Structure 1
Amino acid sequence: MLRALLFSLLIFTVSAQAAKKEADDGSQIQPDNYYPRVKLETTMGDIVIELDRRRAPITVNNFLRYVDKRSFEGTIFQRIIPGYIVQGGGYTVDYEEKSSYPAIFNESGNGLKNTMYSVAMARQNDPHTATRQFFFNLDENDNLDPGSSWGYAVFGAVVEGYEVVDAIGEVETEYKATIGFADAPVEPIIINKVELLPPQF
């Protein structure tokens, strides 16, 4: 009886360790760091954002797996509305849409607000359609916070490179008729490299 119990415990432990090792949802990336930092190297300068895994665990883990796969590299900021938002992370320089993981649950009710320099997930009208596109808030955009309906999930904030975000938000934009994109930069702003920084603890 004791031998069978010990064997079952061993199998459970091995299975749990294997499942943890095989996890690919982002939770395995700096798993003990509640506030991982990511540096975006763009054609207009570097931006460092601090993610809030305590308030937005699903969203942060989802973002980190794109970082880990280097999937944001070579993408652009394709939508820029001065004084409002800078959105990117989903398209190549040729405006080809990048592949995505499945959509995630909307964590907009986590208490984080769409304040200036916060980072939030872009989505379609359906609240639970965010995949990989994100945006920087260029103002106090409380209209994007949840109220009687779902809002846009904030999952971090800019901690370095505020001037770069401001500069991106002021570039000249145009309507690209061939792909139906409004507010697209005349000159592409490219995310060349995305790096997960070492933990600060």
Structure 2
Amino acid sequence: MRMLSWIVGCCMLTAVGMANAATQVLFETNQGNFTVEVYADKAPKTVENFLQYVKDGFYTNTIFHRVIGRFMIQGGGFDRELNEKPTRAPVVNESNNGLLNATGTIAMARTPDPNSATAQFFVNVADNQFLDYTSPEPDRIGYCVFGKVVSGMDVVFKISNLPTGNQRGFSDVPIRTVVIRRASIINGK
């Protein structure tokens, strides 16, 4: 009887652990792989939007088109020829969630319109406090952090240090194209 209770207890702990496992997304790039963990409890609409793009295969063969050392790497919106991919409607800015644009965090890229984020994201390679939420005013609302890199930060740093130049009206484009071969959910929902 004790053995049965122990087995049932272990199974329940495993089930609870799996239910509480944070969702992680694996980015496979031509420079190596990295994994991000997303925080649906802090930025539910942003995470739902991002994960839908992942599930749809949207990020496959997109590139990191904006790379600035000691700042961030940005991608998820353009193909290898720098053609913008069509996106769904923008998601509301959830930057007032207590998360900071610290080294290794992932956040939504956007235009000056605070509620213009669609599919593009960036990974901070420095602590970028000037991107954090400070007030609800449009020029101080910040950029919504919705997760962090949990493995492969060396790959992110490698990408951030690549030589860049100008291409087709874009600046800070890596001279050697950095391709997201695939993004996939590796655990969670």
For the aligned pair, the TM-score class normalised by the smaller chain equals 0.7 to 0.9
- More RCO (CA 8 Å, sep 6+): 2
Which residue, out of 98, 102, 108, partners 2:85? 98
Deviations 1:20-58 (A, max 9, x none): xxxxxxxxxxxx667210000000001000000000000
Q: In the alignment, what sits opposite 2:67?
A: 80
In structure 1, the residue matched to 2:41 is 54
Work out the CA distance in 2 between the residues paired with 1:180 and 1:145. 28
The answer on 1:184 being equivalent to 2:173 is yes
RMSD across aligned positions (CA): 1.4
Cα distance between partner residues in 2 of 1:59 and 1:51? 10
Secondary structure at 1:92 match in 2: coil
1:150 aligned partner: 141
Deviations 1:101-156 (A, max 9, x none): 10010000000000000000000001000000000001010000011421000000
TM-score, structure 2 normalization: 0.86
Question: 2:161 aligned with 1:173, yes or no?
Answer: no
Contact 2:75 2:120 in 1 (8 A): yes
In structure 2, stretches of 5+ residues that fail to align are 1-18
Tell me the number of residue pairs that the alignment of Structure 1 and Structure 2 aligns. 167
User: How far did 1:62 drift?
Assistant: 0.2
* Counterpart-to-counterpart distance in 2, 1:146 and 1:197: 30
- Identity of counterpart residues, as a percentage? 40
Q: In 2, are the aligned partners of 1:34 and 1:53 still within 8 Å (CA)?
A: no
Find the residue that maps to 1:171 and give its secondary structure: coil
> What's the offset of the Cα at 1:199?
3.2
Name the SS of the counterpart of 1:166 in structure 2.
helix
Q: Unpaired segments of 5 or more residues in structure 1?
A: 1-31
Amino acid at match of 2:148: A
List 4+ stretches of structure 1 deviating above 4 A.
none
1:45 is aligned, of 21, 25, 32, to 32
Q: What amino acid does structure 1 have at the position aligned with 2:65?
A: Q
Structure ID, larger Rg: 1
Q: Does 1:110 align with 2:97?
A: yes
- Larger mean CA deviation between 140-149 and 71-80 belongs to 140-149
Secondary structure of 2:47's match?
helix
Could you tell me whether the CA contact under 8 Å between 2:21 and 2:188 is conserved in 1? no
Letter in 2 for 1:57: P
Q: Give TM-score, length-normalised by structure 1.
A: 0.81
Find the residue that maps to 1:48 and give its secondary structure: strand
Q: Does 1:36 align with 2:23?
A: yes
